[in-house]
Structure 1
Amino acid sequence: MDYEKLSPVVARIRPRTSHKIVGIGIIIVVLIYVATQLSDYQLSTSTFLAATSTAGSSVADTVGDVIDSQVANSFDGVSDSEVTDSAALGTTAVDDLFQAKIEPIPNIVHYVWLLNPLKNNTNTRLEFKHFLSLYAVSIYWKPDKIFIHTDIAEGDFLPEPGTETPEDEWNLLITGQPNVEVNHITAPSHVPGTNRTIDRIEHKSDFLRLHMMRTYGGIYLDWDAHPLRDIKPLRYSGFKAVVGREPSNRIQTGTYMARRDSDLMKTWSEKMALAYDGTWTHHSNTLLTYLAPRLVPQPGEVLIMEQDAFTPGDFTTPSYNRFYDIHNDSPLQDLSDIWEGLFDRFDDPKHWPKWHINYSATYVLHVFGIQRAQKDLKLNGFTDLTPEYVLARQSNAARALYPTARRMVEEGLIADPYAEA
């Protein structure tokens, strides 16, 4: 471009080599200065986070002016000055401040075991699969109390000393675990506040479990719900109730946890009697699916987990087959394809068999459909959740539950039929 033909003003701002050199020099000087400061003062990551938190608190103050008063009140007495002062100290101080305000969901576990009239009320003895669930609770969650609420008479649940038989094995092992308490109750026969009878033991259990959750709080588990890992992060999440999805996006009732003062437990308990119509789940899953999402907007009331958290799989034949079916092509006791790093399966998907399911996102595994698998499905040798089946680890169910059974072997509670002599 012919800069001499431009106006004097424009000509003054034309780029010159000397300008570029000066600019580069300034940048170099600034970089050297910054590096010197970093070296002299050793600006740490925590200091940077503290500065970021302080700046963030100023933004939060502005946004806070438009926060709904209900949200603001959810901090339970924590003043704005406390938040601002703590933010200046760094994120750890803020975490400590609010952690002190969190009341966790009690570490109390509830099971229900009721006599079944269809079995002439003879179902007084539990089995290995029940012990498998309760033992996992004991070793992974270390609860303060494990309640077994049952209408079995006190003298019928455990044998008299010296009269034990092999059938008593699992009842004895279950009650021998730390902090287990058998709570002998009268099963509800009528819908509370009405003269309508409750016929099915499953529905009696629905009313009983909710009553106990309203009384104590804690975690309710079906006997076919098996913990795979600790749920302490959920209990300390700050939510008063934690529930999970099941297939069809409904909320399941086989695993849920709550504080006894939670709005969800209170409202569900009040409305269950009104909703009960004798159908399978109208008063339970259906009502809970209606209530829980409507309480989510209330700060800290309800956390709804995705389906994999408590109820992976579905209620279809292919799902049952994939879960229970025995794969004899897998070497006995070989777990080489179950332990994997974060990107192992992503980088090398062919290393794992197509039938294998990863349960890394699952806290509690609900093993639906055992009865159907026993009666209707033509599986490759599956009969029930037995020690032999689990310890062989040739199915998805067995591989998921194996760590619990392995602990039983190590504690001398069961024998390993595959152990070398």
Structure 2
Amino acid sequence: MLESLQALNPFCKHGYVPLTAVPASYRVQTHVKITIAVIVLISVAALLHPLGAAQQYVFNSSADNGPIPSIVHYVYIKKDDDSVLNFHFAHFLTLFASVMYINPSRIYIHTDYSDTDIASAVQNGNTWTRKVLTTFPEIVVFNPVVAPQFAGPNEGRKIDAIQHKSDFIRWDEIAKTGGIYLDWDVVVLQPLTPLLNAGFAFVAGRQYGGAAEDGRINGTINNGAFMTKPNSAMARIMLREQTAGFNGAWEYNLQFLTSVAERLVHIPNQALICDRHAFAPTHWFAESKDALFLANDGRPSPEPSLTNSTDVMDIYDNMVANRRRRLDWEMDLSATYMLHAFGQGQHNNDITPKRILARTSNYGVATWAIVKRMKEEGHVKGHEEEG
């Protein structure tokens, strides 16, 4: 019989005979030891893997870590019923820069102008209008939209400003495909690939915030240049809430966008907010606009020396050498991915191929390489003075 029990009971098989009841005091001690062991294990786990890390694991396991699509979005809508399509050289410049530095698969121009309006502008528009409409037919797509007229609670507040109408359209459209939204006064100055591949669902940058500015809008996110994945949390929140909360205030969309983005930073991979030098290093006051666009007397800024090296230190040293040769009036835009050139519309006469290639203004120095490429590819002759 004993041999049969040993065959069935592993404890008996090895000579152990726990066949009698364990005393109650032993059972209590065992429970206490187990409880202590569990507490110790939980404490160690908490130290090695705090809640924030655990949350990150959860979010990363489900997050789409693919890049933001290389799709560019512009909005161009009518100010009134009699408006016609009319572009300046500055508009062609931003379009060309997008192609040069982003290499987009598509450029959407979301517009309420009809096909007839566009065809008429191609035939009868000025030089730059025709170039905007016809230079990149393989990637530029005119997407018809209807400009919103009402928003706010119960959609009872009329939207008067064309800029506010554009605010709603840009989110309605970019949420579908993702990509890079650009106002027409934003010029890309270097490749955006590092930002598109950074793993964030939304990337934006702050704009100027100074003591002389209204404190309610200091340091808000600039909504004239941003990037998002399709159907990102930011896009879904903007679509769901910005219309309902619209109050007609000029800075409403800026404040709302900023508050949402700042909250999303807490959630891994959802939002990256760059400092203002990244997208909007200048501002909209006269001293900044004049310093950016107006030509300076004296000799032009020297052309930068180039290097074919791929070594980071060589590239850095070359950049520093170029900066040391700069003139006193030159801005340092080396940390700027995109230049939101506030006041561009007031300075169209200062933005021409000839003036930019002359390298006598900060805007000219910043965009010189773009216009140089235009000239090399035959899009401009370089002596045009029409802005």
Q: Shared fold by TM > 0.5?
A: yes
User: What secondary structure is seen at the aligned counterpart in 2 of 1:360?
Assistant: coil
Distance 1:300 1:402 in 2: 35
Q: 1:139 Cα deviation (Å)?
A: 1.4
Q: Which has the higher contact order (CA 8 A, sep 6+)?
A: 2
Whether the aligned pair in 1 keeps the contact of 2:204 and 2:222 (CA below 8 Å) is yes
Q: 1:279 Cα deviation (Å)?
A: 1.5
- The normalised TM-score by structure 2 is 0.76
Structure 2 unmatched ranges of 5 or more: 1-43, 210-218, 308-313
* Matched residue type, 1:179: I
Matched, 1:76 2:61: yes
**1:392 matched to which residue of 2?**
358
Label 1:345 to 1:214 Cα distance change in 2 as closer, same or farther (>3 A): closer
Distance 1:347 1:416 in 2: 27
Distance 1:347 1:402 in 2: 18
Label 1:208 to 1:336 Cα distance change in 2 as closer, same or farther (>3 A): closer
Whether the aligned pair in 2 keeps the contact of 1:108 and 1:143 (CA below 8 Å) is yes
Distance 2:179 2:282 in 1: 25
* Matched residue type, 1:71: Q
Distance 2:54 2:134 in 1: 49
Q: 1:346 Cα deviation (Å)?
A: 6.8
Q: 1:254 Cα deviation (Å)?
A: 0.3
- The normalised TM-score by structure 1 is 0.70
Q: 1:122 aligns with which of 83, 86, 93?
A: 83
Q: 1:112 aligns with which of 75, 86, 107?
A: 75
Whether the aligned pair in 2 keeps the contact of 1:175 and 1:181 (CA below 8 Å) is no
Q: 1:138 Cα deviation (Å)?
A: 0.8
Distance 2:306 2:275 in 1: 23
Q: 1:395 Cα deviation (Å)?
A: 0.6
Structure 1 unmatched ranges of 5 or more: 1-58, 79-100, 375-381
User: What secondary structure is seen at the aligned counterpart in 1 of 2:316?
Assistant: coil
Q: 1:365 aligns with which of 331, 339, 357?
A: 339
Q: 1:176 aligns with which of 129, 135, 138?
A: 135
**2:303 matched to which residue of 1?**
335
Q: 1:217 aligns with which of 169, 172, 178?
A: 178
**For each residue in 1:322-375, what CA deviation from the matched residue of structure 2 results, as whole angstroms up to 9, or x when unmatched?**
2112123024x7425999963578789874321111211111011111345x5x
User: What secondary structure is seen at the aligned counterpart in 1 of 2:350?
Assistant: coil
Distance 1:413 1:218 in 2: 26
Whether the aligned pair in 1 keeps the contact of 2:72 and 2:179 (CA below 8 Å) is yes
Whether the aligned pair in 1 keeps the contact of 2:206 and 2:221 (CA below 8 Å) is yes
- Give the 5 Å matches for 1:57-68: 63-64=48-49, 66-68=51-53
Label 1:279 to 1:77 Cα distance change in 2 as closer, same or farther (>3 A): closer
* Matched residue type, 2:339: L
Whether the aligned pair in 1 keeps the contact of 2:102 and 2:193 (CA below 8 Å) is yes
**For each residue in 1:42-92, what CA deviation from the matched residue of structure 2 results, as whole angstroms up to 9, or x when unmatched?**
xxxxxxxxxxxxxxxxx99973365443211123269xxxxxxxxxxxxxx
- Give the 5 Å matches for 1:301-316: 301-316=270-285
Label 1:169 to 1:245 Cα distance change in 2 as closer, same or farther (>3 A): closer
Distance 1:395 1:337 in 2: 19
Q: 1:143 Cα deviation (Å)?
A: 0.8
Distance 2:222 2:306 in 1: 28
* Matched residue type, 1:242: V
Whether the aligned pair in 1 keeps the contact of 2:297 and 2:360 (CA below 8 Å) is yes
**1:234 matched to which residue of 2?**
195
Q: 2:158 aligns with which of 186, 190, 197?
A: 197
Label 1:61 to 1:134 Cα distance change in 2 as closer, same or farther (>3 A): farther
